[in-house]
Amino acid sequence: MSVLNLTKKEDKILYEIYSRLYKASSPSADFEELVANAKINEEGKRVINFMDYEIDNDVMDNIIETVLKENRVRKDQRGKYKTTIYLGCSPKSFLKSE
Whole-number pLDDT of residue 6: 54
3-class DSSP string for 6-56: CCHHHHHHHHHHHHHHHHHCECCCCHHHHHHHCEECCCCCEECCHHHCEEE
pLDDT at 3 over 90: no
pLDDT in tens, 49-98: 999 999 999 999 999 999 999 999 999 999 999 999 999 999 999 887 65
Taking residues 20-43, report their average pLDDT.
Answer: 95
78-87 vs 8-24: helix axis angle to the nearest 10?
50
d(CA 80, CA 3): 10
Output the pTM of the full model.
Answer: 0.86
End-to-end CA distance of the chain: 35
Q: Where is 93: in which H helix or E strand?
A: strand 92-94
Determine if the peptide bond prior to 27 is cis (ω within 30°). Answer: yes
Burial of 88 (0-12, 13-18, 19+ CB in 10 A): middle
